[in-house]
Amino acid sequence: MNRFAEAAFGFPTGLFTFLLLVAVGYWLFVLLGAADAEGAEGGLDEIAGAVGLSGVPVAVAGTTLIALAWFVSLAGGELLGRVPVPGPVRATLAVLLVPAALGVAWAGTRGLVVAGRRLLPTSEGASRSAFVGRTCVVRTRHVDTGYGQAEVTADDGSSAVIQVRLVGEAHEAAGWTALIYGYDADDEVFWITPIT
């Protein structure tokens, strides 16, 4: 165990060990309910997208990247320790192991993220915005800027009851057809206009 601790906390693996401990601590807080897994990611989504790791939560991609870099660094450090080279060469190779571990970890994380995108469902906002441009049948007797429901049919033939809003006057009866021309993601309502 002492040899493992030396390898895990020695250079260069120690850099990744610290980050891995932070990531494990974060996930423990998530499990205990003290942190939100969807957390305040802010600009991190843009950074993840810039390096090709978007499509899964940033915390998942980051943790995977750190864990893979830690493992590659640990394995590389152990292999480096077995190669008979002079001290300055060993130090140079240890320094070069950091970007090499990050590169291998990025490639592995990128592969897992691409696979994960296929397994994760699309966001609700994206599927809802797909209703824009479709017709719907109003199901409530009255529709205005604050109230109304309609039924819309998706590409797969399934139907959904959606909240709709209308500017102006509409028929005072259910069962009329309208065109969905907008979606308000903040209020989660669709804007409609009657089809005459």
In this predicted structure, what is the pLDDT of residue 96? Answer: 92
Write the pLDDT tens digit of every residue in 107-126. Answer: 999 888 888 777 765 544 44
Dig out the tokens for 94 from the structure: 């240890």
Query: Of all helices (H) and strands (E), which one includes residue 184?
Result: strand 177-184
Using alpha carbons only, what angle is made at residue 87 by residues 82 and 90, rounded to the nearest 5 degrees? Answer: 55
Do you know the residue count of the chain? 196
Residue type, 43: G
In this predicted structure, what is the pLDDT of residue 102? Answer: 92
- 17-22 — which CB contacts under 8 Å span 24+ positions? 17/70, 19/66, 19/69, 19/70, 20/66, 20/67, 20/70
Q: Is 185 exposed, middle or buried (0-12, 13-18, 19+ CB in 10 A)?
A: exposed
Most trustworthy range by pLDDT among 10-14, 82-86, 95-99, 185-189 = 95-99
Write the pLDDT tens digit of every residue in 166-179. Answer: 988 766 788 899 99
pLDDT at 97 over 50: yes
In percent, how much of the chain has pLDDT > 70? Answer: 86
Domain ranges for the chain, please list them: 2-119, 125-194
DSSP secondary structure letters along 10-78 = STTHHHHHHHHHHHHHHHHHHHHTSS-TT---TTHHHHHHHTT-TTS-HHHHHHHHHHHHHHHHHHHHH
In this predicted structure, what is the pLDDT of residue 121? Answer: 58
Query: Of all helices (H) and strands (E), which one includes residue 180?
Result: strand 177-184
For tokens 């250079």, what's the residue? 11
More confident residue, 84 or 155: 84
In this predicted structure, what is the pLDDT of residue 149? Answer: 92
Inter-helix orientation angle 58-82/13-32, to 10°: 150
Is CATH 2.40.50.140 the right assignment for the domain spanning 125-194?
yes
Across the range 141-154, mean pLDDT stands at: 88
Across the range 58-76, mean pLDDT stands at: 90
